[in-house]
Amino acid sequence: MNLSFAGCGFLGIYHVGVAVCFKKYAPHLLLGKISGASFGALSACCLLCDLPIGEITSDLLRVVGEARAGSLGPFSPSFNIQNVLFEGMQRYLPHDVHKIVSGKLHISLTRVYDGKNIIVSEFPTREDLLQAVLASCFVPVFSGMLPPRFHGIRYMDGGFSDNLPVLDENTITVSPFCGESDICPRDLSSQLFHINLANTSIELSKQNMNRFARILFPPKPEVLSNMCKQGFDDALRFLQRNNLISCTRCLAVQSTFQLQDMLDDTTYEYDPDCEECKTHRQDALVDDLPDTVMTIFQNAIDTANHGLVNWVMRQRGVRYLTFLALPYTVPIDIMYATFTKFVTCTPKMSKSLWKLSLNLIQQLHCFVYTSHDRSGDAARIYYKLTGETKKEAHEGYQLER
């Protein structure tokens, strides 16, 4: 089976919960191909690289904190989501990540000049992979004004053309929006109307409207914790409904690959009434997110709520003052962002200025020597003309006498 993760912006914390469930109860589903758009592509890449879920959760909460800290939230000039994603990938992805995910990771991109969807799955170098993920996460205006290039062509968020790429009929689709995806929230509503937005089924409901508002505007850590838990529960419900939770021995028999937990070469016969499988499924019924992930969320919640400054900022009067002060805080934020960008680009600018200065000196040197040669020629011509004029004047004087 293959997996497909929908693009969803800051709702990607839902994918973290799904990933935790798959790694614990259905690791065999992570051995196939995984596709995605936007944050879904980033989630798929982290799953294929088997990155620690705890570190990814902590980094995602850090990004959310930076996005909420600006004067205009994630639209603040000082917050650059592309730089944040690039720094995170540089920090966590292994050096041979392009070799690990090539042929397995399928990234959905939208070509800028014609809006056509492109699926890329081969990455010759690590830089190619990073550029592809950044291009798939680029939302115009929110991420910047100029889309990034991939192999010389500009691309933007794959969610504009194919937000949930399906590789074949055996693809399990994952979406944080209530709809007809295999793994998605099941809201208690009587809505019968669905829309298909960029290959993603979305139910027209109040809950989905709230989720849409949080794509680019990250909610509080409490809400993110609930979304992650919902992703875990929805994935667990899907696995139970399709009888995909099995013990290690039965997984080795049902699949064609040998899991690492199997240390002996003994062959087993598939037993539909395996007692170990039944115990595993019973444990899953009452299971929850791992303590490591819950601890990370709890620390983020405590950090956001505790302290005198946080208490003052939660008061209604302070919120009004913050809103009224936007005409003054936004220019300061712009100046800070401009200064930070200038400092960041100084090493590159210094090299360019040095080359430009060297080129200017060479041009000036050539101009001086050329002017010197031309001045010598001009002097000779002047002396020659002056001598001829004097000679003509002397001959005229002799004729008059």
| CATH number of residue 221's parent domain | 3.40.1090
Domain boundary among 183, 204, 238: 238
What's phi and psi for 105, nearest 5 deg?
-90, 125
One DSSP character per residue, 258-327 reads: --TT--S-------TT-HHHHHHHHHHHT--S-HHHHHHHHHHHHHHH-SHHHHHHTSHHHHHHHHHTHH
Is residue 323 included in any domain, yes or no?
yes
319 lies in the same domain as 233: no
Report pLDDT digits (tens) over 253-306. 555 444 344 344 444 444 556 666 666 566 666 677 778 888 898 888 888 777
| Rounded Cα gap, residues 346 and 361, in angstroms | 22
Q: How many CB atoms lie within 10 A of CB 298?
A: 14
Is residue 276 included in any domain, yes or no?
no
Q: What is the pLDDT of residue 74?
A: 83
Is residue 270 included in any domain, yes or no?
no
Residue 227: pLDDT band by 50, 70, 90 thresholds?
very high
Residues acting as catalytic residues? 38, 157
322 lies in the same domain as 209: no
131 lies in the same domain as 15: yes
Is residue 281 included in any domain, yes or no?
no
213 lies in the same domain as 337: no
Q: Which residues contact 145 (CB under 8 A, 6 or more apart)?
A: none
Domain boundary among 238, 264, 284: 238
Is residue 293 included in any domain, yes or no?
no
pTM of the predicted structure, to 2 decimals = 0.74
Is residue 297 included in any domain, yes or no?
no
203 lies in the same domain as 331: no
Name the domain count of the chain. Answer: 2
Is residue 106 included in any domain, yes or no?
yes
| Rounded Cα gap, residues 202 and 11, in angstroms | 14
Domain boundary among 238, 262, 279: 238
Print the domain residue range for 350.
315-396
Is residue 274 included in any domain, yes or no?
no
